[in-house]
Amino acid sequence: MNSMLTRSKQRTICSQLGRVKLQLLYKASIHGFTGPAFHQQCDNRCPTVSVGYNASGYVFGGYTKQPFSQSAAYVNDDQAFLFTFSGEKLLKYPVTGSGYAVKMIANSGPYFGEALVLVNGSKAVVYSAPGNYYNFAAADMHGNDLILTECEVYQVEETTALERPWRTIHWESVKKNELKESIKIYKPTDSSVSQARVLLIGPVGAGKSSFFNSINSVFRGHVTSQAMAGCFTTSLTRQFRTYSVKDGRKGKPLPIIFCDTMGLEESTGAGIDIEDISSILKGHLPDRYQFNTSAPLDSDSSGYLKSPELKDRIHCVTYVIDACKVSIMPPKLEEKLNAIRRKVNLMGIPQLVLLTKVDEACPLVEEDVKNIYKSGYIKEMMQEVSARLGVPLSCVVPVKNYSEELELDPDCTTLLLSAIIQMLRFTDNYFDDISDKFSNIEV
């Protein structure tokens, strides 16, 4: 469930409300343009921001601190307001009769004091009556286009800083350099393997390719974009790709290889096939294998590695999850991730979770990446993804990829390098486990 409200517009709305973030509760195109669907998702949740969209390009709605219900009563709220956007500028219309700020109607969506109703009478339409408890110009508010193309309701959540970080991380430049050096000199404990192979798995748009690009940028010394990345509803990655990171422009390859796959998709038959993931884990898939969503790879396919060696297998699996979408992860997508996790568990491969886009999820982190372990909200997201994917919290690592920057940021780099260190530690666990198995066989 993707937000239609742009990041910049979310920031503008949040600037009116303090240090807060918006969490999507209801999306009419998914849940239904009906009063019951709206109330099922939004009743007893507050404060909220309700947003309507029309084909004329208007984005408008209202804020209330009161929880929605189906009581048929008017509710007082002296902080309620309506708004619309003129470009990126927010035009705000405060409630004029606070006792009639919001009305609780069972058969409609957000109902602002007989002045503005989104999803009116369980139809994808707007009711608009300026002057009834809110004063606004209809032409400015919605351009007199009363047909809704979308309606969204967001819960407003405060972001508070913890007194002290709940994880220790050293931000000094000397520590960052130590992390880089540790990665450069790393050697797998099994002498037959020269590079750790890390498989990146995650939903479309979570940031798998962006993560590789970010790591590549760190060691190149400037922002790069080798792997194809972007904002699309279906996977940009159509091939199985293995990426080796070089230490500098003409430097030696680092002792880690990232394996990128098609993104996971909610619907059956879309995105990467789970059986293809099994082949990747076992080392059968060749680099640049073209994924076929209708049929998994078989042993007769071109390039199929029938007898993969230890160096060809995956040594650590990393799930890449968007922090902004943890709480609204579709059940079918969660089922796919859990099915993959069970396969990985059976093969004894260590698993890590990268929580991406933490700056977009939390204003505290957006202000300063060093607040990452002071953010109670990010900790809650990490705990939730830990529970959903069935991995310990110690296996969840937050990062901020380079996505819009032109130059490197030392604090983002520290987070990224810390994530690589965890991957290499987990890889060591994999080789240790294999070594223990052989030792037991010999005994």
| pLDDT value of position 80 | 96
DSSP string, 382-406: HHHHHHHHT--GGGEEE----SS-S
Interatomic CA distance for residues 245 and 211, integer angstroms:
12
DSSP 8-state assignment for residue 93: E
Interatomic CA distance for residues 197 and 29, integer angstroms:
41
Q: In whole angstroms, how far apart are CA 201 and each of 209, 320, 355, 395?
A: 10, 6, 12, 15
Q: How confident is the model at residue 233 (pLDDT cuts 50, 70, 90)?
A: very low
CA atoms within 13 A on the CB side of 412: 23
| 2-30 confidence digits (pLDDT tens) | 789 987 898 899 889 988 889 999 999 99
Interatomic CA distance for residues 114 and 133, integer angstroms:
7
| 387-416 confidence digits (pLDDT tens) | 999 999 999 999 999 988 889 999 999 999
Q: In whole angstroms, how far apart are CA 285 and each of 13, 256, 300, 351, 432?
A: 47, 18, 12, 20, 24
Q: Which domains does the chain have, with CATH numbers?
A: 7-158 (no CATH), 173-442 (3.40.50.300)
Q: In this predicted model, which residue has the larger pLDDT, 320 or 160? A: 320
381 torsion bin: left (phi>0), alpha (psi -120 to 50), beta (else): alpha
| pLDDT value of position 159 | 81
pLDDT over 80 at 436, yes or no = no
pLDDT over 60 at 441, yes or no = no
CA atoms within 13 A on the CB side of 12: 17
Q: Tokens for 375?
A: 């953010």
Q: Are the CB atoms for 85 and 9 separated by under 8 Å?
A: yes
3-state class (DSSP) for residue 193: coil
3-state class (DSSP) for residue 298: coil
pLDDT over 80 at 247, yes or no = yes
Helix (H), strand (E) counts: the chain: 12, 18
Pairing outcome for strands 102-103 and 89-94 = unpaired
Lowest mean pLDDT among 181-185, 241-245, 309-313, 325-329: 325-329
Rounded to two decimals, what is the model's pTM?
0.73
Pairing outcome for strands 316-322 and 196-201 = parallel
Average pLDDT over residues 98-120: 94
Interatomic CA distance for residues 15 and 11, integer angstroms:
6
Interatomic CA distance for residues 383 and 402, integer angstroms:
24
Q: Tokens for 321?
A: 């999850």
| 38-55 confidence digits (pLDDT tens) | 999 999 999 999 999 999
**Percentages (nearest 5) of helix, strand, coil residues in the chain:** 35, 25, 40
pLDDT over 90 at 324, yes or no = no
| pLDDT value of position 413 | 96
Pairing outcome for strands 316-322 and 351-356 = parallel
Interatomic CA distance for residues 352 and 426, integer angstroms:
8
Interatomic CA distance for residues 315 and 238, integer angstroms:
22
18 torsion bin: left (phi>0), alpha (psi -120 to 50), beta (else): left
* Beta strands per DSSP E along 247-376: 253-260, 289-290, 316-322, 351-356
